[in-house]
Structure 1
Amino acid sequence: MKPLHKTLPLLLILLLSGCAGLKPPAAASQAAVHDNAADDEASASEDNNARLPRMDLTPQILYGVLASEIAAQRGGAGSSSATYLDLARQTRDPRLAQRAAEFALFSGQLSEASRALALWVELDPDSQTAREQLFITMLRAGKLAESRPLVETLLAKEPGRAPDVFVQLARLASRQSDKAGATALVKQLASRYPALPEARFAVIAVAAENNDNASMDAEFDRLALVAPKWDLPVAWQVDRLRRVDLPASIDFIRKELARRPDAGLELKMAYPRLLVAAKRYPEARTEFDRLLKQNPQNADLLYATGLLAYQLRDLDTADVRLQAALAQRHPESDFISFTLGQLAEDRQDKAAAERWYSQVGRGQQYLPAQTRLAAMDAASGRLEAGLARLSTLGGNEQERIQLAMEQAQMARAAKQNERAYAILSQALTEYPRSPDLLYDRALVSDQLGNLGNAERDLKALLKEKPDDPQALNALGYTLVVRSTRYQEALSYIEKALKADPDNPMILDSMGWVQFKLGRNESALKYLEKAYAAMQDAEVAAHLGEVLWKTGRQQEARALWSKALEREPDNEALRETMHRLNP
């Protein structure tokens, strides 16, 4: 179909030249026998228009065409279709029926499109385009059985179009409401083309709609013999299986690739991509590396193997492959540069990290790259430079909120909690109901020892998100640590745990409030479960203290010792050990 915004001038020229000065439909037989110089000089193009109605260009026709085109350009394609269809019925002009169909399809009105296309076929029986469009539209509307005469005509008149017809049958099989009828018709049509790969694909598609796995397997076996280089049906089935059963899709493509050695590279790459989706990273890397040996300059393979190497912490290989992907002009150049910056940070190569982050252009990765550069400034003692780098960025509310949080985190990392509080407060003047800003400022208030401000912000957050488990837990835990309002704290933590029962942070809070209430055995149950899920130093401090208080000092010492090895600078752990003096 033609783009709607470009067709008005051409359409008017066609309509005006086809209608101006011509006779009404009633006199069409007489008008066909003009004996004048113009008829004597008729060209081949006039022969093609011989069946077009000859009529005067009435104000009604002109107004209808102009009004419809203008309405369509203003978003009213549906009403334009109705007007054109009415004009086509009055004038019997197939061009008007065609335009009605175009507008109906553009606006998604399949029933209206079917009526317009049927009229177009009636008015111009030799138009193959009209028949094909009507056939596809009826398939989209789920009317395969009704489209049988069209299919039969298409296949009879142009047998060379059979592959296209069967691909459309396969593509739109899922839209058919009469699954059994669609299956019977497709199988009957396909039986006439036993060696046509597209016919086999159509049978596979309808079999899939009926969960007929045996027929699907048989047809894929035939396809592997008659079309071993045709990837479309295999890719279609892989995508279908991937959505419902990832392991099954992996098994299927492995089997198909084994008997399709000449399959296209894109299909071959689908196998390791599925392995990545299943988090089977070592296997995926092996398969990608095998393909890379066969296609050493392929940018997609260099990119994929580089990312996998980074995932598996093979930094040297990741560095080489990702830089090679950049050299091959991979379209994800900004993401590659950002990843190389992270890789350089992992290697403690600050200069390289800054160089890579600075190469990231203004796109999806720009803000993350600038944030990392700002954090590196702050970590080097240049907090003001880091804050200034982010101060002018952010194009929308979400980005500006995120940047304010990043700035506050930089200040907190620099032990400037008052500055962090001021940054968040400034952002809250612009976005006073932002849950993220309220939560972060509450955490800063807690670090500053200001229970009142922390409680105020967390309760304001809960007005916006009353069932948020993170906010409920934060308020409950703050009350446990900063006050003796243990029963009130318990009520908040219970609500949080009900909403998120396996969250180790909430389990830790519940264990700690139980301990404060003197319920040591209950506290141990929750804290042990929390530590099993998340071996965090603060959880270890809590669990160790309960163990210590219940006479299990040796276990507490061993637990603290292991936690101290992992996080030697954890303040909560060091405070607990200093206070209990193990």
Structure 2
Amino acid sequence: MAVSSVNMGHYSLPAHCPQGLAGLQAAGAGAIVSALCRTGTGMGSRVWWRWTALALLLAAPLAPASVTLTGEGLFYLLSAEMATQQGDRQDALAAWKHSVDQLPTAAVLAAATKAAAQLGDLPQALHWAKHWHELAPEDSESARFEAGLLLADGQDSAAIDLLQATLARFPDDERVSSELAELLAQHGRLGDAERLIHSVLQQHPQSAAAQMTLGRIALLEKQPEKAESAFARALELRPDWDEAAILHAETLHQQGNALAALRSIQGFCAAHPNAEAARVYLAKLYLSLGGQTQAYRVLQQLSLLRPEQPQIWEQLLLLGIAEKDWTGSQQALEHLRELLPHSPLLSYYQGRLAEEQKDWAPALAAYDKLSGTPLADEAQLRMVQIYYAQGQKKKALLQVEKLQARHPDNVQIPLLRAELLQEQGQVASAVQVLDQALEQHPRDADLWYARGTVAEQQGDYAGMEKAMKIVIDLRPEDAQAYNFLGYSLLQRRDELATAAHYLHKAIQLAPEDPNIQDSVGWLYHLQGDQAQALKYLQQAHAGLGEEPEVLSHLGRVLWKMGQKKEARTLWQQGLKRHPTSRRLQEDLLHP
């Protein structure tokens, strides 16, 4: 088992990826809303719902089609729409203010409200939304939009009051009922929410929106099977609904049925080739299951659908680097350069691309350009790793110590420092660094994972198990933690049944991860099932190539199955690539 040092998480990016700060600064306010939706505190959480409400509102068209203008009013309106499309926040808001002053109609106020929300000016959006609602009290959309903005602003009670008043005026509007029911559920009024949504379904049995709300309420009630059924029904009623397809797959995944989730979203994407949101989710699901190559292919397809989206090219570049597709990565970088010509991300990724190809001088030069930018600390961390790879170990440790002194709250720095110390054999010093960091960040899963690996290296198996169990408690879907625990037990031939429990959970969470395939294959070998062992170890070999441990395991299974010549050939080929591998030497001497 080659233990992965980077935990992808369910919706996260590779370690040291600056998607958060720099990505938002480069992509503008629109990306802030989408990023907040991606990094919410969990499906069904209040934060997630607030920002999702706002993001869904932003899908509405801006143009006030019913308005006919000439002269100055037309000039400002066209200027406002153009500046909004280009993401020019300052000019767009100024032009919308002029448009509203020139013609304060409901249609213009509606467009201005949506533009302000899209541009990230929530107070201005709320101001215009109130005027829009005052001018169009018979339009339920104005009330729903204002309620969504109130919710995004944290004014939950005001949003509930507004939707209740709107429902009294529009008792047959299923959209108002659905939004109110979901909001009531978020505030713990689950009974009221369910009664409201069931009354909607009695009047509108074909309402996909009501089924979606029923599913979300079921999630809040921690009834995933009920939620899955509701989302499936919503998808049946509206077969092209991205959101329903994503929630249906995600609910299956949450129930531990990862393969069913994958099949579900794959089928939807095949039937709807232009479904962008579903493809983004499919790529993330592949990543969570260890399918890095498959995720890369999905993003390549998505880049053809939305070549103007910098976030897609950024993700594609990261995965291209991970896949060692240098040509594809360079192409993605050039697309980013066209879309974000002044972003510090360009130098960062130029450095990453050079670093991964061990082209140290250009990598250091690219990272050095990031001094004084939001990516400066990230660049310093990368430079430290390059110094270490070049053999400048003292310089690397000195630099990382200085970084930690300047940024005591950054958990990535002690993680890197401990890793460098551990590689130098200074295990006690690595333990000290991690323990100090854990005093400040006692619920950081990455720190606990690192602490577990060091404990294993020390032979402190009880400490390792404690650390990895804390990781699992903090991140229940962390396949690598289950894998680490299970494989450690296998190595010690200790509690084989317990090892099997952890490893079966790991492969269930990440069935395409070759590190986990190797562990599970070795488990089957020790259990005496050589056919199953061969299947998993061949998959691991295909994914990890000439990794000595995988070659050792695969050879042992082939030897056990009587294929001794094939086993020797495998070990000999492995030794040509890894002449210092004691494991392969031992296999050949004592098969």
> Shorter-chain TM-score: which interval?
0.3 to 0.5
Choose between structure 1 and 2 for higher RCO, CA contacts under 8 A separated by at least 6 residues.
Answer: 2
- The TM-score, its normalising length taken from structure 2, stands at 0.47
- The TM-score, its normalising length taken from structure 1, stands at 0.48
Larger Rg: 1
